[in-house]
Structure 1
Amino acid sequence: MEVIQAYDQVQTAYAGARQTETWSERMVAQFGQPEQPETKSILEKNKLL
């Protein structure tokens, strides 16, 4: 957890006022959602899985 908080601080220092949420909040929003049912079939269809 300390590593994530440290990286959040690095990203906040770099982005400054341009960014309103932390890196970890953006990752949760992007990857914290359940997988869509059709995702696996699309990946298999395109031979990516």
Structure 2
Amino acid sequence: MNSNSKYQNFILKSFLIIAVTYYLPYHGKTFPEAADIPIPVSNLYSSIPRL
């Protein structure tokens, strides 16, 4: 149970980092415009295991 909570903590931190890096610089733009940034978002999300 302890390792599971650590694992979920890591996933939450990862999503927080993703949200900060992607949302803050593109605040005020619509989502399709923000999704045009050159970082491979699909690779990033596919590397995060599904819960």
Structure 1 length-normalised TM: 0.32
Work out which structure has the larger RCO, using CA pairs closer than 8 Å and 6 or more positions apart in sequence. Answer: 2
**Greater per-residue helix proportion:** 1
